[in-house]
Every structure is written in C-alpha cells, then in structure tokens.
Amino acid sequence: MKKVVIIGSGPAGLTAAIYVARANLEPLVYEGEQPGGQLMITTDVENYPGFEKGVMGPQLMQTMRQQAERFGAEMRQENVLEVDFSGRPFKLKATNSAEEAEAVIVASGASARLLGLEAEKKLMGYGVSACATCDGAFFRDRKVLIVGGGDSAMEEAIFLTKFASQVTIVHRRDQLRASKFMQNRIFKNPKIDVLWDSVIVDIKDPEKKKVEAAVIKNVKTEEVGDVPCDGIFMAIGHDPNTKIFKGRLEMDTKGYLVTQNGTHTSVEGVFAAGDVQDHVYRQAITAAGSGCMAAIDAERWLEAQEG
C-alpha cells in the first residue's frame, strides 16, 4: 500500500510530489496520458519565477519531473479510471494497475475548451492560446482575435489591449452573454471590436508554424472570408478533469472540487490542488503553490493518524 498517491502531473501534481517525496513518503504519481499537463502545449513561459529569460513549457515540466524523481517519487504514465473513497485505505484503478493509498492528492487539472480544428491543434503555442494572462505579452503591437462571449472572455479581451494594437471578439451570436457592466467596458474600448454571428472554421497557416489569418464564417449569411491576425485566444471556458470523482467528492456547479481548510476535500485524507479546484487564477505558479499546500496538508494528516 502506498502512503500517498498523486493523480496528475502538471505543476500542482509535481510540486506535491517533490514535497511528499522529500518527506520520505515515497509518492506514486499517476501522470495521465499527457504528462506535464497544459504546459506541455505551451512554448515560452516568461512569468514563472526563477527563469530570467523564460523557459519552454515542456522543459519546465521535465525539470520538475526529474526533481520529484530525484527524491524518490514513482511515475506511472497511466490514467486513473476509478476511485473508491468510501473507506480507507482508498482504492484506485488505473489503466494497467490498481493501488491502495492512505492519502490521495487530486491534481488532475482542467482542460480548456477548444474549437476542435486540426489547425488549432497544430498551432497551439504558436499563435493559438487558451490563456491571455499567460501569453498576451507575446502579442505586443499585434492584431489578435478572441473567441467567446462571457465575462471571462471580456476580461481577457480587455487584458489583451495592454499589449495588442487591436483585439477582435469573434462571437457566434448577435449579442454577448457577458454582464452589462463588462459589455459597457468592451464597447467603450477603442481597441476592441466585435465580429457578430461569426465562427472560426479554419486557421492559417499551420505549415508556417504561425498564425496569419482566421477563416471566418458568418452563421447567418454563410459568407466565408479571411481575417488577418497574429494570434487567436480561446476563451470559451474550461472543464475540470473531475469525471471520475462525481458522487465521491464534493464539487461546485461547474464540476470543480470544493476545498476547505487549505486543500482538504469533502473526504478526509483526500486533498485537491491546482486547476482541478481553482477556476479563478489558473496559473502555473498558483497551481504549484497549491500543490505544496496539499503535500503539507497530507503529510500533517498522515502524522495525525499515526499519532
């Protein structure tokens, strides 16, 4: 039986692994099919402390992984398929293995909703982004598009005006879902305009590894045309990776895990860190910070059980 099992290998999971391993608790990390989380599809990361000239997302995650392994963390590139938190020890069933654990840290993250285009996949990190806060500074004096119609999309659009010369919101309807207050801020901003009744059907140019234009279709007229731009930001929401925890851990209405007293979930001995429980900040550094918190909470909880 494992002392601690960590589900997820993004900044939250790997930071938790470093702390748990250094406490001699020999954690097992289920990395999932995409080890490293969302940073694996990010190119330059310039806002993670300690890297004066920035660092590539995959390199940052590889360094964290090696650091956790150095202290004794075990990595398995498997998905956790089922969990049983009804009694201790907790039971976990993964792709190729099954384990029991005294404590579990859930750091399975969240996935940005995307349009599902092939070009979008190929250009992610090369002009296509799902995080304006992370990547906006790369588009200084450039023209960018942002897809979405809610408050978070409006906030990201306003944030992007700090850098971009022009921000165009692409929205499939003829009115925004955002609050009136946010809409007023958008309409008053001279750098922002809106393409109504429009959807992106393709992005140019994956062959050149850069964004040159969005192919946009008007849903009412069926008219299709190119809109030149240097970057495209997806702001149509995130989905927490919590499907296997439904009915087992308390969640909010959007499916994010609810934590209290730090990183404690509704089940004693199960902790949650990173984007799986944070729909506000969603940054690598905040995820890493909560991973540290979850590790310390788990270590102290285990000590209390033994005491």
- Average the pLDDT over each of 37-51, 170-184, 247-261 and give the range with the smallest value: 37-51
Domain residue spans of the chain? 2-112+238-306, 118-234
Is 151 a catalytic site residue?
no
Banded model confidence at residue 3, pLDDT cuts 50, 70, 90? very high
Is 229 a catalytic site residue?
no
CB 248 within 8 A of CB 83: yes
CB 274 within 8 A of CB 10: yes
Is there a common fold for 2-112+238-306 and 118-234? yes
- Could you tell me what percent of the chain has a pLDDT over 90? 89
- Among residues 135, 202, 278, 297, the one annotated as catalytic is 135
pLDDT at 134 (0 to 100): 86
Is 205 a catalytic site residue?
no
pLDDT at 175 (0 to 100): 94
* pLDDT (mean) for 134-161: 94
Distance CA(29)–CA(97), nearest Å, equals: 12
The CATH code for residues 2-112+238-306 is 3.50.50.60
Taking 80 as the threshold, does the pLDDT of residue 33 lie above it?
no
pLDDT digits (tens, 9 = 90+) for 188-218: 999 999 999 999 999 999 999 999 999 999 9
CB 265 within 8 A of CB 257: yes
CB 305 within 8 A of CB 28: no
Banded model confidence at residue 178, pLDDT cuts 50, 70, 90? very high
Q: Left (φ > 0), alpha (ψ -120 to 50) or beta: where does 277 sit?
A: alpha
pLDDT at 41 (0 to 100): 74
Tokens of 141: 């004096």
Q: Are strands 143-147 and 166-170 parallel, antiparallel or unpaired?
A: parallel
Q: Which fold has domain 118-234?
A: FAD/NAD(P)-binding domain (3.50.50)
